[in-house]
């Protein structure tokens, strides 16, 4: 693989999959491969699996995180979970703005912005997901969508708080769970747009250190193609990463 200026990040997003027992079996299977890699390996697990997985990865190079959190510290929000709760349970990071949260649970950029601020308050690292829908893609609105998502999600969040805590995941919605992965050209163009917007919002120093990863129907066969792209610093993987053997193989490719 071509030499990169930033460390490579490989993150699994389990979504609503795996019981505590299944999670533990998975983590034990991938740990040997994770220990060998120079990349940063992460798994976003269901809330119930955070504590058991965090205990299992103690003193290893595998990082455990959550897939969502509420923007409040506590209160009357039946069924919700606070950042400080997932932090206490052992999460090191949280995925925010995933398209399934945006589309199914109607999360707005404004809400995601509040969640990012709360997550940083709780000393959680953030993987911020952005990406256009199929219709937006077909109507040439990629630049506009990425710009407004980034601007609104990061509003009033100073660079000092985001250095080494933020990872940006470009996930075209039409590629998530569909088997329709983006071409390297599409991923590269989105990465370039993101870097321009981030330079505009902050500065080029901050942009230079910001990891930008790709997600959307990544698998063992196509992972290397994305990892080769200059400026793309890793992968966010759903379906293919449910199998520990596939996840370990992708880590080995990185």
Residues interacting with ligand PGA, by CB under 6 A?
Answer: 13, 171, 176-177, 215-218, 236-240
Catalytic: 171?
yes
Q: Which helix (H) or strand (E) holds 86?
A: helix 83-89
User: 55 vs 254, which CB is nearer to ligand PGA?
Assistant: 254
Tell me the sheet residues that pair with 127. Answer: 95, 167
CA torsion 162→166→170→174, rounded to 10°? -110
Q: How far is the CB of 21 from ligand PGA (least distance, A)?
A: 23
> Choosing from 92, 98, 132, 137, which is the catalytic residue?
98
DSSP E strands in the chain: the ranges are: 9-13, 40-44, 62-66, 93-96, 125-130, 166-170, 212-215, 234-237
Q: Which is nearer to ligand PGA, 67 or 207 (CB)?
A: 67
Catalytic residue among 33, 92, 171, 191: 171
- Min dist CB 54 to ligand PGA, Å, is 21
Phi and psi dihedrals of 34, rounded to 5?
Answer: -60, -40
For ligand PGA, the closer CB: 50 or 250: 250
Taking the C-alpha atoms of residue 197 and residue 218, their distance in angstroms, rounded to an integer, is: 25
CB of 107 to ligand PGA, least distance (A): 14
Q: Name the residue nearer to ligand PGA (CB basis): 34 or 218.
A: 218
Residues 6+ apart with CB under 8 A from 175: 131, 181, 182, 215, 216, 217
Q: How far apart are CA 247 and CA 54, in angstroms?
A: 18
142-153 helix and 109-121 helix, angle to the nearest 10 degrees = 40
**Active-site annotation holds for 137:** no
* Beta carbon of residue 179, minimum distance to ligand PGA (angstroms, whole number): 8
Nearer to ligand PGA, 161 or 225 (CB): 225
CB of 72 to ligand PGA, least distance (A): 25
Catalytic residues: 98, 171
């Amino acid at each position: 693989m071509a030499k990169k200026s930033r460390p490579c990040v490989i993150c699994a997003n389990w979504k609503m999959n795996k019981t505590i027992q299944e999670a533990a079996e998975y983590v034990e299977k991938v740990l040997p491969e994770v220990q060998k890699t120079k990349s940063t390996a992460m798994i976003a697990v269901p809330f119930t699996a955070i504590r058991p997985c965090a205990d299992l990865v103690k003193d290893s190079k595998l990082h455990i995180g959550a897939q969502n959190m509420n923007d409040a510290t506590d209160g009357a929000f039946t069924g919700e979970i606070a950042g400080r709760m997932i932090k206490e349970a052992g999460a090191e990071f949280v995925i925010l703005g995933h398209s399934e949260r945006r589309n199914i649970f109607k999360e707005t950029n404004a809400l995601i912005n509040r969640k990012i601020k709360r997550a940083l308050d709780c000393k959680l690292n953030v993987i911020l997901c952005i990406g256009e829908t199929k219709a937006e893609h077909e109507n040439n609105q990629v630049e506009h969508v990425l710009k407004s998502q980034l601007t609104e999600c990061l509003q009033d969040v100073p660079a000092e708080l985001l250095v080494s805590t933020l990872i940006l995941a470009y996930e075209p919605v039409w590629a998530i769970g569909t088997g329709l992965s983006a071409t390297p050209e599409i991923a590269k163009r989105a990465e370039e747009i993101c870097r321009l917007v981030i330079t505009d919002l902050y500065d080029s120093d901050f942009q230079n250190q910001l990891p930008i990863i790709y997600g959307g129907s990544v698998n063992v066969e196509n992972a290397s193609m994305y990892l080769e792209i200059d400026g793309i610093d890793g992968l966010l993987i759903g379906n293919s990463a449910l199998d520990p053997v596939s996840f370990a193989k992708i880590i080995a490719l990185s």
